[in-house]
Amino acid sequence: MRKISILIAFIIAISFNCEANNKISTIDSTAQSEPQEVKKEQIRVVLALGLGIDYGGIGGKISFLLNDNISLFGGGGLAIYAPGFNVGGKIRAFAKRKVSPFAIFMYGYHTIIKWTSSSEILNGINTGLGIDINFGNSKSECNCLSIALIIPNSFADVNKYIEENNIELKTKLPPIRFSIGYQFKYR
């Protein structure tokens, strides 16, 4: 867990460094050394369809790109027996390249427990690491395959719920979840 925390901190540091380098104003030598005006970017919207915790199970996700490296998202879908949701953020390193690693942080659905009389969706904090593989123009967010490994940080809550309700699991819960989706630029 400590290694994952160090890796996430490293990705965040790289992300902010890349963003700082993008914001440095350039000097136009023909305009008597006056800085050029920096064009303010508007927030871009990205839609995605996929499978995994960040998509609410099998579902969709809408992301608002605050800049090339940082986005906020909400996802919702069908988590096998009931609706699932997640809201969170994504920090990407090397956003303008064809392959971009990222860290993802979210709150929402992470485990569904089904037994004969009922089912329960458990919510909590989830973190993960992944890559975006861009099939389109490397400077856009279009045509991107997103693959992630997500770690639910609430296993103590899951175990407590199982013990309180005297539930016997037929399968062991995986400590890491897989997520895959296809995202495309909306505007």
Q: Is the pLDDT score of 182 beyond 80? A: yes
From residue 183, give the alpha-carbon distance in Å to each of 11, 14, 57, 60, 159.
Answer: 21, 23, 16, 9, 34
What is the per-residue pLDDT across 67-123, written as a single tens digit (0 to 9) for each? 888 999 999 999 887 888 999 999 988 877 888 999 999 998 888 777 767 777 878
Domain count, the chain: 1
What is the per-residue pLDDT across 57-71, written as a single tens digit (0 to 9) for each? 899 999 998 888 899
In a domain, 26, yes or no: no
What are the residues whose beta carbons fall under 8 Å from the beta carbon of 146, sequence distance 6 or more?
48, 50, 130, 131, 132, 133, 179, 180, 181, 182, 183
In angstroms, the CA 10 to CA 84 distance is: 30
For the record, the structure tokens of 127 come out as 């973190």
From residue 87, give the alpha-carbon distance in Å to each of 55, 62, 83, 162.
Answer: 10, 10, 14, 25
- pLDDT category at 179 given cuts 50, 70, 90 is very high
In a domain, 55, yes or no: yes
In a domain, 133, yes or no: yes
Residue 86 domain boundaries: 2-21+41-185
Do 124 and 150 contact (CB within 8 A), yes or no? no
In a domain, 148, yes or no: yes
CATH number for 67:
2.40.160
In a domain, 34, yes or no: no
In a domain, 27, yes or no: no
In a domain, 28, yes or no: no
In a domain, 150, yes or no: yes
What are the residues whose beta carbons fall under 8 Å from the beta carbon of 123, sequence distance 6 or more?
107, 108, 109, 110, 154
Provide the whole-model pTM: 0.70
